[in-house]
Amino acid sequence: MTSHDDRFVHYLRAKESVDDRALHRPTLASLEDRLEARAESRSGEPLRVVSVGAGTGAMCRRLLSWGVFDAHDEIKYVLVDRTRGMADNAAAAFAEWARAAGWTAEPTSNGFRIDRHGRSVSLTYVTSDIFEAMAVLPKAIDLVVAHAVLDVLPLRRAVAALLSRLTDDGLFYAPITFDGRTAFRPSHPADDAVLGAYHETMRGDDRAGPDTGTDLLTALPDLGAPVVAAGGSDWVVHPPHDDEARLFLDRILGFVEESVGEAVGEAVGEADAVDRETLDGWLRARHDALAGDELAYVAHNLDVLAELD
């Protein structure tokens, strides 16, 4: 992994507690109810889950910790991510978590298996692009989890590929899907220019763009999977900050710097181009506010749950 990837892994770790607070509980409860009904109607069958853009597997650990899979004694969980080296970070995170949570862990040929109180979870990590992974996975997935990833994929193509691997009544869960609003406080005169440009950099032929959450509400039913639950899962990070929150916000500012910095001087969609001086002044003010423990940040996300028709 590059040092850039290492920083990204630290960001993912810091993001876990922000996501914990943000996740839309009614949508999660609806997922749990549907998994329970599934366990009853398919007694004796394992639950097969595929997580795409899985990163270090935070959502899998969270769903297990929060009891969302409790109706199932046997779970086969495949994590797909294209970043090389992410699998090792996931293995380390699972090993640490399993020890602390009282699961016994045992290596298998392509991952490892964890067991606790009669519940067994086989974990397999696949380092691959999602489209390549979907082309080879059997049409036998009960639940797809696409956590904080759809905005960087071509939306309809990605959703169609993922739905094509689901079993009858299969579930599609897309938590923390970015949905068009980023805000910082204290406010700054260049907020509209910089954040408008930031959102414009999210557009492109192979990217779902800044309104992915809302777009999912029509893309899923159009592709045969009506939405059964959805709600806001906004990130809200305000002072006073602990070290993790500071690291998280520093990385968010880094994402703005990298993406808007690349587009400096270019026309970015309908938004005015941002010049380097404006961007640098804005970043300086934001980093000063972060250092002074004054920076607040809000990003609007949606959690969406759909079921194959």
Ligand X SMILES: C[S@@+](CC[C@H](N)C(=O)[O-])C[C@H]1O[C@@H](n2cnc3c(N)ncnc32)[C@H](O)[C@@H]1O
Give the 3-state DSSP-derived string for 124-191, with helices as H, strands as E and coil as C: EEEECCHHHHHHHCCCCEEEEEECCCHHHCCHHHHHHHHHCCEEEEEEEEEEEEEEEEEEEECCCCCH
Q: Does residue number 152 form part of the binding site for ligand X (CB under 6 A)?
A: yes
Amino acid at 214: T
How far apart CA 217 and CA 97 sit, in angstroms, is 34
When the beta carbons of 162 and 289 are compared against ligand X, the nearer one is: 162
Among residues 135, 130, 147, the alpha carbon closest in space to that of 81 is found at: 130
- For residue 179, the one-letter residue type is D
Residues sharing a CB contact under 8 Å with residue 238, sequence separation 6 or more, in sequence order? 296, 297
Under the binding rule (CB under 6 A), the answer on residue 9 touching ligand X is no
Write the interaction track for ligand X spanning residues 219-258; mark x where CB under 6 A is met and - where it is not: ----------------------------------------
User: Could you tell me the smallest distance in angstroms from the CB atom of residue 42 to ligand X?
Assistant: 27
Q: How many CA atoms lie within 13 A of 28 on its CB side?
A: 20
Q: Which of 82, 181, 251, 287 contacts ligand X by CB under 6 A?
A: 82
Under the criterion CB under 6 A, does residue 83 sit at the interface with ligand X? yes
For residue 186, whether the previous peptide bond is cis, meaning omega lies within 30 degrees of 0, is yes
Segment near ligand X (CB under 6 A); pick from 141-149, 230-238, 254-262, 286-294? 141-149
179: contact with ligand X by CB under 6 A: no
Region binding ligand X by CB under 6 A among candidate stretches 110-118, 149-157, 222-230, 252-260: 149-157
Using rule CB under 6 A, residue 155 touches ligand X: no
24 backbone φψ class: left, alpha, beta (φ>0; ψ -120 to 50): beta
Q: Is 156 one of the binding residues for ligand X (CB under 6 A)?
A: no
Among 130, 237, 252, 253, binds ligand X (CB under 6 A): 130
Residue ranges that bind ligand X, judged by CB under 6 A: 12, 15, 53-55, 58-59, 80-83, 86, 129-130, 147-149, 152-153
